[in-house]
Structure 1
Amino acid sequence: MILVTGATGTIGREVVRLLPADLAVRIMARDPARVRGASTTAEIVHGDFEDPQSLAAALRGVSTVFLVTNRIWEDDARFIRTARSAGVRRVVKLSAAAVEDCRADDLITRWQRVNEDLLCGSGMEWTLIRPRSFMSNALSWATSVRSGGVVRALHGSSANSCVDPLDIAEVAVRTLTEEGHAGSTHTLTGPEPITAVEQTAQLAELLGRPLRFEELGPDQARTALRGRYPQAVADALVESAERQREGAKARVEATVPALLGRPAGTFLGWARGHLDAFAAG
């Protein structure tokens, strides 16, 4: 049986949708009512990383896990201990591309490194999926685009080889359902580096109306991020943006084409599929 965690998040919900209906799949969520797109054959259960009993119940009879955590806490350690005790054979973990950059020392990257080490030393088979930034992060601009025709971002002329979440999910499903990925690390990017200024221009073209880009300073960006994240996470994201300004996130990897047998999705293609989010009412 395959257990999917993070099933209501950006990647997890696509994994749930893509897993074949003829496989035994269990989906763990803090709020099972929020799970969408699952096969009618999938089992949906309550589970919370902070509740060891719920984890043990969710992991009973499971051989393979898709592990997604996003809180800077002990979630990975608690889950890995419970999974090992439950006899889980393989864990596919969603991590981050920054882990392999020795210059990256922000809180989020350090946390992911610790969690990767925990998994790799657990004795279970493991596969690490390390995506670059999600193209869907652009959805944070949707409100300002709809209301004022503006995109605001930090270091708008710096490039990021961001990746389509659907590509990440398809790679995850391959690693969950195929043999041959044990001990592998898959770093995933889009087909080209792209800047926020260029993304703004592509959105304007698709929407058929002008958009303007406004550059945020570090303090402005930090203030905006603190409205959505804890202070420590907001500070880590600003620190990460500085590495992007230095060119650390522009490298393109060939992993998506190699694993999926097709080109990686472009930002233009992603934006076309999500244009309703940016369209004025």
Structure 2
Amino acid sequence: MAMALSSSPIVDNLSLKGFRAPLLIDRSLLSFSNARICPIAGVSSVGRIAVMPRAVTGEQTPSLTKDDEVALDDSISPSQAVKDVLVVGASGGVGQIVVASLLDRNIKLRLLVRDPEKASTLFGKQDESKVKILKGDTRNPLDMDPAMFMGITHVICCTGTTAFPSKRWGGDNSPEKVDWEGVRNLVLALPQDLKRFVLVSSIGVTKPSSLPWSIMNLFGVLKYKKMGEDFLCSSGLPFTIIRPCRLTDGPYTSYDLNTLLKATAGERRAVTIGQGDKLMGEVSRLVVAEACIQALDIDFTQNQIYEINSVEGEGPGSDPEKWKQLFKFPK
């Protein structure tokens, strides 16, 4: 499908802070004694965390409704005004582009990374009212403190590791730890009123025993990605899962966000979106990042799973209407 490329819109800067009552997390519910059987693929999961209001002394500050927040400035669309997006794996190949693109849109961000110094070097000095860098390792459940994620409205998770043993597996960075346990730990810590969780997974996760996927799955990467998918699907959180084909272009290691945004995908900008784990081929990291961002605001992508690749030709760029058409009519 040939589509004209358009530039990302820039919106006026606005910092909106809703006032929320303090919350107390009943951490006893994190116990695995509450485990139940996930209805999808028999994956074992844990009950959602209960979030209960804490008693406060004196007069309680009233909460602003979404309509109140939007009313503060009519020039800001509702979706922009209420967003507080958590990007997990922000310093990775897709994550870097997601962060740069969201900053270009003036979206408030929290970045969950293992190495804050690396993230600060990569993304430069940013206004802390717009970007907060959180230190945390999804592989460690003790790092996933629900208090860190209070107020988060949307999540884009771009974590991942290599399919075959490599230096990146050092420090227990295997697919089991990253794609399964990491996703599970993150899901359990997120607020129940989350508007959308977008997870980057992989094509072939439903065909781990069939060629060529059986080769890719020799060390379990597809199995563990599917387990992460299934846990998210059964969590009760609104989700969209993006399964990219083989990633191309990057990963980038730019120290300049403007350079990241100017990164080129060559001629591979035309996008194909499918369902049913049928697509093959390659996809630009730039295209995957944009698909994740667009899915946040398209209502009918909720609780859906899509595959994505890109081929030669002009693509949808950052045009929301063109992305809606792509998601609406998957191949």
Alignment equivalent of 2:304, drawn from 165, 180, 184: 184
AA of the residue aligned to 2:295: T
Deviation at 1:180, TM superposition (A): 3.1
Q: TM-score, normalised by structure 1?
A: 0.56
Gaps in structure 2 of 5+ consecutive residues: 1-83, 161-174, 253-279, 327-331
8 Å contact kept, 1:170–1:260:
no
Aligned pairs for 1:29-48 within 5 A: 29-35=113-119, 36-37=122-123, 40=127, 41-48=130-137
8 Å contact kept, 1:4–1:27:
yes
Deviation at 1:177, TM superposition (A): 4.0
Alignment equivalent of 1:133, drawn from 246, 249, 252: 246
2:141 matched residue in structure 1: 52
8 Å contact kept, 2:246–2:283:
yes
Structure with higher helix content: 1
Distance 1:110 1:26, change over 3 A: same
Q: Deviations over 1:68-127 (max 9, x none)?
A: 33242211111111125x543421000001124362342111111111110101101010
- 2:228 is paired with a residue of what secondary structure? helix
8 Å contact kept, 1:5–1:66:
yes
Distance 1:138 1:173, change over 3 A: closer
User: C-alpha distance in 1, partners of 2:92/2:195?
Assistant: 24
8 Å contact kept, 2:85–2:154:
yes
User: C-alpha distance in 2, partners of 1:80/1:26?
Assistant: 16
Distance 1:185 1:115, change over 3 A: same
Deviation at 1:138, TM superposition (A): 9.4
Alpha-carbon RMSD across the aligned residues, in angstroms, is 3.0
Q: Deviations over 1:207-261 (max 9, x none)?
A: xxxxxxxxxxxxxxxxxxxxxxxxxxxxxxxxxxxxxxxxxxxxxxx9x996288
Distance 1:10 1:138, change over 3 A: closer
User: C-alpha distance in 2, partners of 1:28/1:176?
Assistant: 18
1:164 matched residue in structure 2: 284
Paired residues, what number?
179
AA of the residue aligned to 2:196: R
AA of the residue aligned to 1:43: K
Aligned pairs for 1:8-27 within 5 A: 8-19=91-102, 20-27=104-111
Aligned pairs for 1:1-281 within 5 A: 1-19=84-102, 20-35=104-119, 36-37=122-123, 40=127, 41-55=130-144, 56-70=146-160, 71-73=175-177, 74-83=181-190, 87-101=193-207, 103=210, 104-105=213-214, 106=217, 107-136=220-249, 161-191=281-311, 259=323
Identity of aligned residues (%): 23
User: C-alpha distance in 1, partners of 2:106/2:142?
Assistant: 28
Distance 1:137 1:24, change over 3 A: closer
Q: Deviations over 1:114-168 (max 9, x none)?
A: 11110101101010000001114799xxxxxxxxxxxxxxxxxxxx621110000
User: C-alpha distance in 2, partners of 1:260/1:180?
Assistant: 9
Distance 1:61 1:53, change over 3 A: farther
AA of the residue aligned to 1:16: V
- 2:137 is paired with a residue of what secondary structure? coil
Distance 1:180 1:94, change over 3 A: same
User: C-alpha distance in 2, partners of 1:66/1:186?
Assistant: 15
Q: TM-score, normalised by structure 2?
A: 0.48
